[in-house]
Amino acid sequence: MKPNKIRNSNQSRIRPVEEHLVCEIQGLDMNSNLTRAQQRALQRELGGGVKLSLLFKASIHGFTGAAFHQRCDTRGPTVSVGYNRSGNVFGGYTSAPFCQSGQYVNDPKAFLFTFTGDKLSKYTTINNTYAVKMIANSGPYFGEALVLMNASQPVVHSNPGNYYNFPAAEMHSNDLQLIECEVYQVEETSELETPWRTVVWESKRRLELMDGIKAYKPLDSAVSQVRVLLVGPVGAGKSSFFNSINSVFRGHVTSQAMAGCSVTSLTTQFRTYSVKAGRDGKPLPIILCDTMGLEDSSGAGLDIDDISSILKGHVPNCYQFNSAAPLHSETPGYRKAPELRDKVHCVVYVLDACKISIMPDKLEAKLNAVRRKANLIGIPQLALITKVDEACPLVKEDLTNVYKSGYIKDLLQEASGRLGLPLSCLLPVKNYSEEVELQVSVDVLLLSALLQMLRFTDNYLDDISDRLGHSDIKPSK
């Protein structure tokens, strides 16, 4: 993969407006050269739940130590980033605030980094005592190993070895001429004063949601259970979502669908899962359809042509996916004349919150292809954003902070842009993974998402009814 190039407005790929951060300082708009994915990579490296605020931009404020210190002193922790004509993006982090003492600063948290595209490589300090040096006539100065704007010039001093060890060719391609230098203040994402969505986190609410789901009846009496298709990348949590819903209604954590960590999909068949209201209870009025995971490489993962067959109801339960040969009409079990009950009534995309910003272009293209197919058929769509607790420390500490986290809202807005779905159609959840006992907050998010899916299937059946002029629709009793 080639190093990420600095892009101007004419070179940018078509992406949401938030592709670049924008900071307004003293009435002057400063556009960051870090892509959104690079920003997220740095945020994850710093533990998540932080934001980067652009303090200094050399092309605006000047390639001098004086300009750098004027804007950045006492503003730590910071991330400093250099850009050269070879397209390299590299720099360093220090938790110590900058000053002009002329002394070394001990900082065990300091590290250097470089990007290959949007992938971050990190190099930790060898000697904490000499991690950072506070020099008046230079920019960010990392232990004699890497200096941005050395001696108040748009150049890099590079000397890997005793303080930080890194491959110079990988770091900056031995191109020591800077065309830009940026410094960002690292700030913890504070809890919002008021939640951006209102949720009641009580056992009573959990019971209300469960009762509402049990009592639901599809609008068409010919459909006893609506079908919801889960689609997403490998490891995003499709099977885990079914297991989690099943756990809520069983009253204890259980695992029926195969789930876990793997570079390829653990689900290799098309599976339809019906959830029961208790061990001996009646099936709920919803079937969750699990698919093979999408992969970014060609000829791997779920074939897009199979998606069309699934949506239209042609695919039988337990059909074995074949990436090299999609389902066809002569496949054993193929439904040549599917009824309404066999078709998919709602599509739900499942995305890992920690991987939204580093989603490969080919994977994003596949998701958009699925969305186009669902749109053509008129199937409503939602998205589950899983692992929100892993993405934000504030949420990991207390799941009820999920709608108080500006970081999570920002993640959902980015996912909204990538999927082309309104923010109201994105639902953050946490699946059961390491827990052995149920938790009210986890259940409330899961059940709220499931209820929203049922509401969207109503939209689909309503639309079918309108298109058929109500003549073939039999209302539920």
pLDDT by residue for the chain (477 residues), tens only, comes to 333 433 333 333 333 333 334 443 343 457 899 988 899 889 888 877 788 999 999 999 999 999 999 999 999 899 999 999 999 999 999 999 999 999 999 999 999 999 998 889 999 999 899 999 999 999 999 999 999 999 999 999 999 988 999 999 999 999 999 999 999 999 887 667 689 999 999 999 999 999 999 999 998 888 999 999 999 998 899 989 999 999 999 999 987 655 444 444 455 778 889 888 887 788 999 999 988 778 766 655 567 778 888 899 888 777 776 665 666 777 777 788 889 999 999 999 999 998 888 788 888 988 999 999 999 999 999 999 999 999 888 899 899 999 998 889 988 999 999 999 999 999 999 999 888 899 999 999 999 999 999 999 999 998 887 776 654 444 444
Does 146 reside within a domain? yes
Query: Which positions ≥6 away from 5 have C-beta within 8 Å?
Result: 11, 87
Q: Is residue 136 part of a domain?
A: yes
Residue 190 pLDDT = 65
Tell me what pLDDT residue 2 has.
38
Regarding whether 411 and 285 lie in a shared domain, the answer is: yes
Is residue 91 domain-shared with residue 131, that is, in the same domain?
yes
Per-residue pLDDT tens over the stretch 365-422: 889 999 999 999 999 999 999 999 998 888 998 999 999 988 899 889 999 999 999 9
Q: Are residues 257 and 182 in the same domain?
A: no
168 with 225, same domain: the answer is: no
- Return the bridge partners of 105, or none: 132
Does a structural domain hold residue 152?
Answer: yes
Same domain, 323 and 222: yes
pLDDT of res. 326: 67
Do 137 and 209 belong to one domain?
no
One domain for residues 179 and 328: no
Q: Report the number of distinct structural domains present in the chain.
A: 2
Listed residues 125, 160, 188: the one ending a domain = 188
Look at residues 161, 188, 215 and tell me which one is the last residue of a structural domain: 188
In a domain, 377, yes or no: yes
Residues 153 and 216 in one domain: no
Residue 8 covered by a domain? no
Query: Of the candidates 158, 188, 218, which is a domain's last residue?
Result: 188
Q: Are residues 222 and 98 in the same domain?
A: no
Asked if 398 and 457 sit in the same domain, the reply is: yes
What CATH number does the domain containing 233 carry?
3.40.50.300
Q: Are residues 207 and 352 in the same domain?
A: yes
| 147 and 182 part of one domain | yes
Q: Say if 422 falls within a structural domain.
A: yes
Is 230 inside a domain boundary? yes
476 inside domain: no
The range of the structural domain enclosing residue 428 comes to 203-467
Q: Which of 477, 472, 476 is nearest to 340 (CA)?
A: 472
